[in-house]
Amino acid sequence: MNPDRLDRTQILALLAVLTGLLLPHAGRLPNWLLGALAILFGWRIWLIRTQGRMPPKWVLLPITFGLIVGVFIEFRTLLGRTGGIALFAALIGAKLLETRSRRDALLLVYLGYFLVVTNLLFDQTMTLAAYLCAMVLIITTLLIGWHTLGGWTGQWRVAFKQARFAGVLMLQALPVMALLFVFFPRIEGPLWRLPQDRGSIRSGLADSMSPGSFSNMSKDDSVAFRVSFEGERPAQELLYWRGPVFLDYDGRTWTQSPPNATTSPRIEGGTQPPLRYAITLEPHQRPWLLALDMPAMVPDEGRMSDQLQLVGRRQVSKRLRLELSAYLQYRAGVDEDEAMLARALVLPEEGNPRARQQAAAWRTLPPQARVDAVLQLFTGQGLQYTLAPPLYGSNAVDDFVYGGKQGFCEHFAGAFVFMMRAAGVPARVVGGYQGGEENGDYLIVRQADAHAWAEVWLEGQGWQRVDPTFAVAPSRIEEGLASAVNDSDLPYLLRLDNNLVKRAQLALDSMVNGWNQWVIGYTPERQRQVLKRLGITDLLSGKFVAVFLGSIGLCIALIAGWLLWRMRPPKPDAARQLWDSFCRRLAAYDLVPARAEGPRDFAHRAMARLPHRKTEIQAILDGYLAARYGSGGGLEQLKQRVVGFGR
Amino acid sequence: MNAATPSRISLAPLHAVLAQLDDFILGKPRETRLALACLLARGHLLIEDVPGVGKTTLAHALAATLGLAFQRVQFTSDMLPADLIGVSIYDRDSHAFRFHAGPVFSQVVLADEINRATPKTQSALLEAMEERQVTLDGETRELPDPFFVIATQNPSSQIGTFPLPESQLDRFLMRITLGYPDVAAERAMLLGEDRREMLRDAKPVISLAELADSQHAVRRVHVAPALVDYVQALCRATREAPDFHNGLSPRAALGLLAAARAWALLAGRDMVIPEDVQAVFAAVATHRLLARASNRPQPELVAKLQAAVAIP
C-alpha cells in the first residue's frame, strides 16, 4: 500500500469539487470548451472505474496544446478575464489526466482555491458568496483528508469530523478576514474592464414609451432599486422616482431626447430642508440614475440634465449606491428656456382629431384651469385603470379617451400630455417608478412599480408634476399597484396578501440588501468615511500600516494562544511534580530523563553517575514509585527527601 | 492489604522455575521470563522463529518444570479439527459413544507450525484458547486448568501456509522470538548434557496450588491511575501512528496490563511501574501491529513508537 497513491473516492471528490467550482463559469466558457472539459472529466472517471492506464505524455501534450490554441482563437488572448478563466479551466482538465499521486491532487486542490477567487471576478452576490463558502469548506475538508493519515477511510463519520475541523479553521480565519476587509486599501474601479455585455440587459425602463411598455413591466417582480431614508419616510403618494423624460411624440411612441447635461434649469426648494436618502440601484445597463422627485443635489457619480434628470457618467452596469437628497416641495425651471418650452408643445401633424379639437377649445382658459379641465374630462369619461388595456389604433388618444376607456399609466400620461400640448400648455411625459414596498428599515422598488406621469410648465411655477393616473385611480398611487388592479394577474410577490412565502422572500431581500449595503457597497469612498470616523486619514501612513499589521498579528496570536491553552497538558499530580523537581535538580549533573525513560531506569542511571548519593536517590525513587504507582501516600516524606536532595 | 497480595505469596517457587528454565534454555533469560509471565497472566504464547532454536525445548521445559501435562501437535495442511479436539467413537461393549479426547485436552499444548494447518483447524484451536472449553456433539467439555498454548510459526517459509489473520493473532497474549544463542551460551549447550535426557529427568519445582496462587496474585498487583494513563497513551499512539494498519485493540490493552502485572510480580513488586509495561510492550504489541509498508510485524517500528511516547 503506497500512502501516496490516490484513493478512487478521493479523486471522485476532487472531480466533484472542481466541477462545482467551474459550474458558475459555465455560461462564460465557449460550448466547445465545456464539451472538452466534460470529455476530460468523463475520461478520468472512466479510468477510475476500469482501473485503466493514464494517457502517456505524447497523447496529453497535443490535447493540452490544442486546448490552449482553441482558447486563443476563441478569445484572441490568453489573458483577460474570461480568456484567462477558459485557459485555466482547460489546463485543469488536462492536469486531471496526469493526476496519479497525492502531490498532483494537492496541486489541483490549490488550483481549486484559486478557482474560488476567479468566480468573484464576475459576480459578488450573496448567493454566490455563500456557495463559494460551502465550496471552500469542501476543498478544505479534502485537504485535511489528504493530510490525515489513512486519508479517506470510507467512513462518513470521519469525513464529517474533518468537515467540522475545516469549519473551525474557517471560523478562526474570520477575524483576520474582517480586518482585511475593513482596512485593506480598496482599489478604485474594477480589476478588469467590464465587457459591454449586451446579453445581460435587464427588463426595465426603456428610452422610449409606447403603448404596452409599462404594463409589460407590471409582471416583473425583480428589484429595480432599494432605498433607505435618513429620517422619516415620506408618504407613499410623494414617492415619485424620476427617470427618463419623454419629450418627443410621433403619434405612437414617446421618445427620450438625449439628455444634455451642459445646462440645467434652476431648482429651488421649499421651506423644508431637503430629504436625505441612500439609493442602491440594480444594474440596468442605462446611463440614467433614478432619484426622488426633485433632486436637491447632484452626486459625484452623475450630472443634472436639461430635462431635470440625473444622468450617470457611464452605464449602470454594476450595483451602484448613491447618497442623494430631494426637495418634496420645489419650483424647478421657472426660467426654462424658450427652445425647451417650444419642444414641449410639439404635436404630430395629424391624428387624434377629437382630442385635439376638444383641447383647443380650452385655450381661452388660464393654464391651471386647462390642466383641471383635462383631468375632469378623464374622470368624467369613466376611464379605467387596468393591466390589460386593449390595443388602440392610429388615433390612440381618441380611441382611449372616447372609445375603449381602458388604459395603463402610459395611456393616461400620454393622452394627458397630448391634450395639454393641444391646449397650449408645455407638457412632457416623465418615466420612472412610483411608490415601493417597505421592508424593515428600507424600501424595495421593483420593476413592476414602473410608472409614467406628466409634467406641465406653468408660468411662475415652473415644471409641475401632474399624475393623471392619480386622478383616475388614486389607490394606485396611495396604496400601490396591487390595490388598483385585479391582483391575481400580478406575480406572487406583488399581490396584497401577506402570506408566509411573501414574508420569507422579504426577509431574504432584507439580507440581500444588507449584503449590498455593507459588502458590495463598501467602496473606496465608504472605506474613507469609515476610517475617518476611526481617526485614520492616510491609509498608507506608516502608523496605520503598523496598526493594521499589528492587529492582524494580534488576531492570529490570540487564536494560537487559545489553541495552545486548550492543548496544554493536564496539571501533573503532586507526586509527579515532586519527581519533576527532582529531575530538575539532577539536570545540574547533566542528567536528563529521555522521553520514554521510566523513573526507575532514570534513577538507576543517576545512581551509576552519582554513586555517592545512591541511597538518597534510591529513597526518592522508592518514595515516588510508592506514591504514584503504589497505593499512594508518603508525599510529605518524599517532599522532604527531594528538597533535601538539593543541599 | 489482604492475604493474597503479592508481597505475601512466596516468590521462591517462581524464581526456582526461572532458574530451571534457564538451565534448559541457555542465554535467554528474558525470553523465558516473558514466557512464564505470559503463563501467569493466563495468556497464550506465540513463538516465531526458525527451526532448531529451542521452541519445542522451551515448551517442554515449561511443562516439565511446572509439573504440567504436555502434548505436542504438529500442524499440517491435512489436519482436521477432530485430530485436535478429539472424536466420539461407538463402543460396542457399552453400546454407547465414547469420547476420545484429542491432544488439546492437555495443560500445555505445543502447536507446532500453526500456520501450516487450514483456517478451519486453526480456528478450532483458537476457539479453544479463548473459551477454555470445547463443545463437541452438543456437549461442552472444560479444558484443564491451567491451559496454556504455545504455538510456533516459521517466518521464513510462507509457501503452502495459511497465515493467521489479525483477529486470531490478537488471541495470543505475547509473541516472542528466541533467536540464535550467543557464542558462550551455544558453547555451553554443545558441551553440556543432552537436552532430551535432561527434560526426561526434570522434576517440577512448583506445585499446582502454588502456580494457581501466583496466577491469582497477578490479578492483585496494584495498577495506579498514572500507570493506566501510560498504557492508554501507548495504545493511542499505536492508533494514531501512520506506520501501522490498525492500532492496539482494547483486548490488547487489557493484555498489556495483565502482562505488565505478571512481569511486576516476577520482579517481586506489588505495583506496576512504567518499566514493567515497557518490558512486555514489544512482546504484546508487535504481532498485533502490522506495518503499512510491509504488511508484516516490524519490531523496530514498535520500538520507535515506544521510545516516542512520553510517560505521563
Tell me if residue A221 is catalytic.
no
Q: What is the pLDDT of residue A487?
A: 59
Q: Would you say B58 and B30 are in contact if contact means Cβ atoms under 8 Å apart?
A: no
Kindly state the DSSP code that residue B244 receives in the 8-state scheme.
Answer: B
DSSP conformation letters of A278-338: EEEEPP-SSSB--EESSBSS--TTEEE-TTS-EEESS---S-EEEEEEE-SSEEE-TT--H
Instruction: Output the pLDDT for position A493.
Output: 61
Q: How far apart are the first and last CA of chain B?
A: 27
Q: Is residue A33 in some structural domain?
A: yes
CA distance A449 to A220: 9
In a shared domain, residues A134 and A276: no
Angstrom distance (rounded) from CA A1 to CA A557 = 40
Look at residue A237 and tell me whether its pLDDT is greater than 60: yes
* The pLDDT of residue B262 is above 90: yes
User: Do both A133 and A272 map to the same domain?
Assistant: no
* Topology at the third CATH level for domain B1-218: Rossmann fold (3.40.50)
DSSP A233-265: PPPGGG-EEEEEEEEEE-SS-EEEPPP--S---
Give whole-number Cα distances, B54 to B73, B154, B195, in Å.
Answer: 16, 13, 10
Q: Which helix (H) or strand (E) holds A139?
A: helix A126-147
ipTM of the assembly?
A: 0.87
* Closest residue to A600, CB basis, from B226, B275, B293: B275
Determine which one of A25, A284, A411, A451 is catalytic: A451
Query: Among the listed ranges A368-377, B151-160, B245-254, which one has the minimum average pLDDT value?
Result: B151-160
Q: With a cut of 90, say whether residue B119 has pLDDT above it.
A: no
Residue A535 lies in a domain: no
Amino acid at A29: L
Residue A281 identity: L
Mean pLDDT of A362-383: 87
**Residue B175 in grid coordinates:** 509473541
Do A224 and A107 have their domain in common? no
A330-332 and A267-269 beta bridge pairing: antiparallel
Closest CA to B114 of B100, B106, B104: B104
pLDDT tens track for B174-198: 999 888 888 888 888 888 877 777 8
| pLDDT the model gives residue A62 | 92
Task: Please state whether beta strands A275-281 and A291-292 pair in parallel, antiparallel, or not at all (unpaired).
Answer: unpaired
Q: Which residues in A lie closer than 8 A to residue B274 (C-beta atoms)?
A: 598-600, 629
SS (H, E, C) A5-60: ECCHHHHHHHHHHHHHHHHHHHHHCCHHHHHHHHHHHHHHHHHHHHCCCCCCHHHH
DSSP reduced 3-state for A269: strand
Which sequence spans correspond to the domains of chain B?
1-218, 221-312
Residue A115 predicted with pLDDT over 50:
yes
The count of structural domains within chain A is 3
Whether A264 is in a domain gets the answer: yes
A59-67 long-range Cβ contacts below 8 angstroms, 24+ apart? A60/A94, A60/A97, A60/A98, A63/A94, A63/A97, A64/A90, A64/A91, A64/A94, A67/A33, A67/A36, A67/A91, A67/A93, A67/A94
Looking at residue A632, what is its pLDDT?
A: 77
**Does the residue A517 lie in any domain?**
no
Q: Is A583 a catalytic residue?
A: no
Mean pLDDT to the nearest integer, B55-73: 87
Sign of torsion over alpha carbons A140, A146, A147, A151: positive
| CA nearest to B173, candidates B291, B297, B43 | B43
Instruction: Give the integer Cα–Cα distance in Å for A478 and B47.
Output: 97
Which H/E stretch holds residue B73?
strand B70-74
How confident is residue A49, by pLDDT bands cut at 50, 70 and 90?
confident
E runs forming strands in A361-409: 384-385, 406-407
Lowest-confidence range among B31-40, B48-57, B153-162, B272-281?
B153-162
- Using only C-alpha atoms, chain B has a radius of gyration, in whole angstroms, of 20
Q: Looking at A131, A152, A173, which one is the last position of a domain?
A: A152
Q: Which of A61-75, A472-486, B147-161 has the lowest mean pLDDT?
A: A472-486
C-alpha A112/C-alpha A25 separation (Å) is: 13
Distance from B13 to chain A by nearest Cα, in Å?
A: 25
Domain check: are A455 and A324 in the same one?
yes
pLDDT of residue B232: 93
Is A554 a member of any domain? no
A214 and A126 in a common domain = no
**How many CA atoms, within 13 angstroms, populate the side-chain half-sphere of residue A7?**
13
A513 or B278, which is more confident: B278
The pLDDT, as a whole number, for residue A255 is 87
Which of A152, A182, A217 corresponds to the end of one domain? A152
Strand intervals (E) in A92-239:
208-209, 223-229
The pLDDT score that the predictor gives to residue A198 is: 36
Which pLDDT does position A498 carry in this prediction? Answer: 60
pLDDT tens digit sequence for A270-288: 778 888 898 988 888 788 8
In a domain, A3, yes or no: no
Residues A313 and A450 in one domain: yes
**Residue A36 sits in the same domain as residue A141:** yes
What is the Cα–Cα distance from A582 to A641, expressed in whole angstroms? 9
Question: How many other C-beta atoms can be found within 10 angstroms of the C-beta atom of residue B163?
Answer: 16
With contacts defined as CB-CB under 8 Å, which chain B residues touch A631? 1, 222, 271
Residues of B with CB under 8 A from a CB of A: 1, 222, 224, 226-227, 240, 242, 270-275, 278, 292-293, 295, 306-311
Each residue of A321-336: pLDDT tens digit? 888 888 888 888 888 8
Enclosing domain of residue A75: 8-152
Nearest C-alpha in B relative to A624: B273
Evaluate if residue A196 carries a pLDDT over 60. no
Supply the angle between the helices A574-587 and A635-645 in degrees, to the nearest 10. 10
Residue A641 falls inside a structural domain: yes
Check whether residue A333 and residue A256 sit in a common domain: yes
Q: Is the pLDDT of residue A459 over 90?
A: no
Task: Identify the closest residue of chain A to B311 by CA–CA distance.
Answer: A596
Three cell numbers written together for B267: 520482579
DSSP per residue over B97-128, as a string? EEEEE-TTSSSEEEEETGGGS-HHHHHHHHHH
Residues in chain A within 8 Å Cβ distance of B222: 629-631
What average pLDDT does the segment A520-544 reach?
Answer: 77
The answer to whether B242 contacts A596, with C-beta atoms less than 8 Å apart, is no
Q: For residue B152, give the DSSP letter.
A: E
Kindly report whether the peptide bond that precedes residue A511 is cis, defined as omega within 30 degrees of 0: no
Would you state the pLDDT for residue A4? 59
- Residues in chain B within 8 Å Cβ distance of A601: 275
pLDDT at residue A195 greater than cutoff 50: no
pLDDT of amino acid B158? 64
Among A494, A524, A545, the domain-final residue is A494
Residues A305 and A438 in one domain: yes
Query: What is the pLDDT, as a whole number, of residue A488?
Result: 60
Q: Is the pLDDT of residue A365 over 90?
A: no
Q: Amino acid letter at A329? A: Q
**Strand A384-385 versus strand A406-407 pairing type:** parallel
- Would you place residue A599 in the very low, low, confident or very high pLDDT band (cuts 50, 70, 90)? very high
Instruction: Give the model's pLDDT for residue B167.
Output: 75
pLDDT on residue A153: 58
Tell me whether residue A451 is one of the annotated catalytic residues: yes
User: Are B6 and B220 within 8 A, CB to CB?
Assistant: yes
pLDDT of A197: 37
Residue type, A85: I
| Distance to chain B for A1, nearest Cα, Å | 6
- According to the per-residue pLDDT averaged within each range, which of A301-305, B122-126, B171-175 is highest? B171-175
pLDDT, mean of residues A127-146: 90
**Same-domain check for residues A47 and A115:** yes
* Residues of chain A in Cβ contact (below 8 Å) with chain B: 1, 3, 149-150, 573, 575-576, 594-601, 625-626, 628-632
Which residues from A are below 8 Å from B309, CB to CB? 595-596
- In B149-298, alpha helices (H): 166-169, 183-191, 195-201, 208-220, 225-240, 250-266, 274-285
SS3 label, residue A453: strand
Nearest to A595 among B222, B295, B307 (CB): B307
- Any domain includes A510: no
> Could you say which architecture CATH assigns to the domain B221-312?
Orthogonal Bundle (1.10)
Shortest CA distance from B279: residue in chain A: A598
Cell of B284: 504484546
Residues counted in chain A: 647
Give the C-alpha separation, A114 to A107, whole Å: 11
What is the rounded distance in angstroms from the CA atom of residue B16 to the CA atom of residue A282? 96
| Cis-peptide into A274, omega within 30 deg | no
Average pLDDT over residues A355-380: 88
Backbone angles phi, psi at A153, to 5 degrees: -100, 5
The answer to whether residue A50 scores a pLDDT higher than 90 is no
Mean pLDDT, chain A, integer: 83
Please answer whether residues A230 and A277 qualify as being in contact, where contact means their C-beta atoms are separated by less than 8 angstroms. Answer: yes
